[in-house]
Amino acid sequence: MNESKPQFDLSETEFLALLVKHEPSLRAFARILVPDWDLVDEALQEASVTMWQKRGQLQSTDGFVPWAKVILRFKCLKQLEKLRQRRPLLSNELLETLADRDASRSEIEVTQRGRALHACLNQFSAEHRELLLAPHRSTDSVVKLAQRQKKNPNALYKLLGRLREQLIECIRQRLATEVS
Protein backbone atom coordinates (compact mmCIF):
# COMPACT_ATOMS: atom_id res chain seq x y z
CA MET A 1 0.00 0.00 0.00
CA ASN A 2 1.60 3.23 -1.16
CA GLU A 3 0.13 6.22 0.66
CA SER A 4 1.45 9.54 -0.45
CA LYS A 5 1.55 12.41 1.96
CA PRO A 6 -0.57 15.37 0.81
CA GLN A 7 1.70 18.13 -0.45
CA PHE A 8 1.74 21.38 1.48
CA ASP A 9 1.17 24.15 -1.06
CA LEU A 10 1.94 27.79 -0.34
CA SER A 11 0.34 30.49 -2.42
CA GLU A 12 2.51 33.36 -3.62
CA THR A 13 0.85 35.65 -1.06
CA GLU A 14 1.43 33.19 1.82
CA PHE A 15 5.06 32.70 0.81
CA LEU A 16 5.71 36.45 0.58
CA ALA A 17 4.00 37.02 3.94
CA LEU A 18 6.29 34.45 5.58
CA LEU A 19 9.36 35.90 3.91
CA VAL A 20 8.53 39.46 4.98
CA LYS A 21 7.62 38.38 8.51
CA HIS A 22 10.89 36.51 9.05
CA GLU A 23 13.19 38.74 6.98
CA PRO A 24 14.71 40.50 10.04
CA SER A 25 15.74 37.23 11.69
CA LEU A 26 17.02 35.85 8.36
CA ARG A 27 19.03 39.05 7.82
CA ALA A 28 20.47 38.77 11.34
CA PHE A 29 21.38 35.13 10.68
CA ALA A 30 23.12 36.08 7.41
CA ARG A 31 24.99 38.89 9.14
CA ILE A 32 26.48 36.39 11.59
CA LEU A 33 28.05 34.60 8.63
CA VAL A 34 28.82 37.46 6.24
CA PRO A 35 30.69 40.58 7.44
CA ASP A 36 29.57 42.80 4.56
CA TRP A 37 26.06 44.30 4.35
CA ASP A 38 26.02 44.36 0.54
CA LEU A 39 26.86 40.65 0.40
CA VAL A 40 24.19 39.94 3.03
CA ASP A 41 21.67 41.63 0.72
CA GLU A 42 22.89 39.56 -2.23
CA ALA A 43 22.72 36.33 -0.23
CA LEU A 44 19.18 37.16 0.92
CA GLN A 45 18.08 37.98 -2.60
CA GLU A 46 19.52 34.78 -4.02
CA ALA A 47 18.09 32.75 -1.12
CA SER A 48 14.63 34.28 -1.66
CA VAL A 49 14.63 33.18 -5.30
CA THR A 50 15.78 29.68 -4.35
CA MET A 51 13.18 29.48 -1.57
CA TRP A 52 10.46 30.40 -4.04
CA GLN A 53 11.68 27.76 -6.48
CA LYS A 54 11.88 25.10 -3.75
CA ARG A 55 8.77 26.09 -1.77
CA GLY A 56 7.28 22.67 -2.55
CA GLN A 57 9.82 21.16 -0.14
CA LEU A 58 8.33 23.09 2.77
CA GLN A 59 6.15 20.88 4.99
CA SER A 60 4.41 23.61 7.03
CA THR A 61 4.58 27.31 7.80
CA ASP A 62 6.06 26.45 11.22
CA GLY A 63 9.09 24.98 9.49
CA PHE A 64 9.73 28.05 7.35
CA VAL A 65 12.55 29.65 9.37
CA PRO A 66 14.73 26.54 9.80
CA TRP A 67 14.17 25.62 6.14
CA ALA A 68 14.96 29.18 4.99
CA LYS A 69 18.11 29.30 7.14
CA VAL A 70 19.48 26.17 5.47
CA ILE A 71 19.04 27.74 2.04
CA LEU A 72 20.40 31.08 3.24
CA ARG A 73 23.44 29.41 4.82
CA PHE A 74 24.49 28.02 1.43
CA LYS A 75 23.98 31.39 -0.27
CA CYS A 76 26.05 33.07 2.45
CA LEU A 77 28.86 30.59 1.94
CA LYS A 78 28.77 31.39 -1.77
CA GLN A 79 29.05 35.13 -0.98
CA LEU A 80 31.93 34.43 1.40
CA GLU A 81 33.87 32.81 -1.40
CA LYS A 82 33.65 36.11 -3.29
CA LEU A 83 34.84 37.97 -0.21
CA ARG A 84 37.69 35.51 0.46
CA GLN A 85 39.18 36.46 -2.88
CA ARG A 86 39.58 40.00 -1.53
CA ARG A 87 40.56 39.40 2.12
CA PRO A 88 41.07 36.62 4.69
CA LEU A 89 38.00 35.46 6.63
CA LEU A 90 36.98 33.05 9.36
CA SER A 91 37.15 29.36 8.52
CA ASN A 92 34.06 27.54 7.22
CA GLU A 93 34.11 25.34 10.33
CA LEU A 94 33.85 28.35 12.64
CA LEU A 95 31.12 29.88 10.48
CA GLU A 96 29.16 26.60 10.61
CA THR A 97 29.47 26.60 14.40
CA LEU A 98 28.14 30.16 14.56
CA ALA A 99 25.27 29.29 12.24
CA ASP A 100 24.36 26.21 14.29
CA ARG A 101 24.44 28.25 17.48
CA ASP A 102 22.10 30.82 15.97
CA ALA A 103 19.73 28.16 14.67
CA SER A 104 19.07 27.07 18.25
CA ARG A 105 17.76 30.54 19.17
CA SER A 106 14.04 31.02 19.11
CA GLU A 107 12.30 33.70 17.08
CA ILE A 108 11.15 35.30 20.35
CA GLU A 109 14.71 35.49 21.67
CA VAL A 110 15.93 37.10 18.44
CA THR A 111 13.09 39.64 18.58
CA GLN A 112 13.78 40.45 22.25
CA ARG A 113 17.49 40.94 21.55
CA GLY A 114 16.69 43.19 18.58
CA ARG A 115 14.35 45.35 20.67
CA ALA A 116 16.91 45.58 23.47
CA LEU A 117 19.67 46.54 21.02
CA HIS A 118 17.48 49.21 19.43
CA ALA A 119 16.43 50.68 22.79
CA CYS A 120 20.00 50.68 24.11
CA LEU A 121 21.45 52.26 20.96
CA ASN A 122 18.91 55.07 21.28
CA GLN A 123 20.34 55.91 24.71
CA PHE A 124 23.64 56.94 23.14
CA SER A 125 24.35 60.32 21.58
CA ALA A 126 24.20 60.51 17.78
CA GLU A 127 28.02 60.73 17.66
CA HIS A 128 28.48 57.65 19.84
CA ARG A 129 25.81 55.73 17.88
CA GLU A 130 27.66 56.55 14.66
CA LEU A 131 30.90 55.24 16.18
CA LEU A 132 29.22 52.04 17.43
CA LEU A 133 27.71 51.35 14.02
CA ALA A 134 30.72 52.39 11.88
CA PRO A 135 32.45 48.97 11.88
CA HIS A 136 29.20 47.34 10.68
CA ARG A 137 28.69 49.60 7.72
CA SER A 138 30.53 48.79 4.55
CA THR A 139 31.04 52.50 3.76
CA ASP A 140 32.56 53.63 7.08
CA SER A 141 35.51 52.50 9.10
CA VAL A 142 36.70 53.77 12.44
CA VAL A 143 39.85 55.16 10.77
CA LYS A 144 37.77 57.11 8.22
CA LEU A 145 35.53 58.36 11.00
CA ALA A 146 38.59 59.50 12.99
CA GLN A 147 39.91 61.34 9.94
CA ARG A 148 36.56 63.07 9.38
CA GLN A 149 36.34 64.07 13.04
CA LYS A 150 40.04 64.99 13.13
CA LYS A 151 40.62 62.61 16.03
CA ASN A 152 43.28 60.03 16.81
CA PRO A 153 42.18 56.59 15.52
CA ASN A 154 43.60 54.83 18.61
CA ALA A 155 41.62 57.08 20.94
CA LEU A 156 38.50 56.40 18.90
CA TYR A 157 39.11 52.62 19.09
CA LYS A 158 39.45 52.86 22.89
CA LEU A 159 36.24 54.88 23.09
CA LEU A 160 34.55 52.29 20.85
CA GLY A 161 35.62 49.53 23.24
CA ARG A 162 34.11 51.38 26.22
CA LEU A 163 30.91 52.12 24.30
CA ARG A 164 30.57 48.46 23.29
CA GLU A 165 30.91 47.41 26.94
CA GLN A 166 28.18 49.90 27.91
CA LEU A 167 25.96 48.65 25.08
CA ILE A 168 26.41 45.01 26.06
CA GLU A 169 25.64 45.77 29.70
CA CYS A 170 22.52 47.73 28.72
CA ILE A 171 21.30 44.85 26.55
CA ARG A 172 21.96 42.33 29.34
CA GLN A 173 19.97 44.43 31.81
CA ARG A 174 17.05 44.89 29.42
CA LEU A 175 16.91 41.19 28.61
CA ALA A 176 17.10 40.29 32.32
CA THR A 177 14.14 42.56 33.12
CA GLU A 178 12.12 41.12 30.19
CA VAL A 179 12.69 37.56 31.40
CA SER A 180 11.86 38.34 35.04
pLDDT tens digits, one per residue of 82-103: 776 665 455 566 656 666 666 6
CA distance 93 to 66: 19
Q: State the Cα–Cα distance between residues 115 and 112, nearest whole angstrom.
A: 5
Q: What is the DSSP letter of 29?
A: H
Alpha carbon of 43 to those of 65, 78, 171: distances in Å? 15, 8, 28
Q: Residues 138, 124: contact at Cβ < 8 Å?
A: no
CA angle 86, 99, 170 (to 5 degrees): 95
Interior angle at CA 80, CA 40 and CA 66, nearest 5: 60
Task: pLDDT band for 19, please (50, 70, 90 cuts).
Answer: very high
The 10s digit of each residue's pLDDT in 28-86 is: 888 888 877 788 889 999 999 999 999 888 888 888 999 999 999 999 888 888 776 66
Residues of the chain within CATH 1.10.10 domain(s) are 106-180
Q: How does residue 6 score in pLDDT terms, banded at 50, 70 and 90? A: very low
CATH class of domain segment(s) 8-105: mainly alpha
The CATH number of 106-180 is: 1.10.10
Question: For position 1, what pLDDT does the model report?
Answer: 44
Residues of the chain with CATH 1.10.1740: 8-105
- State the pLDDT at residue 32: 81
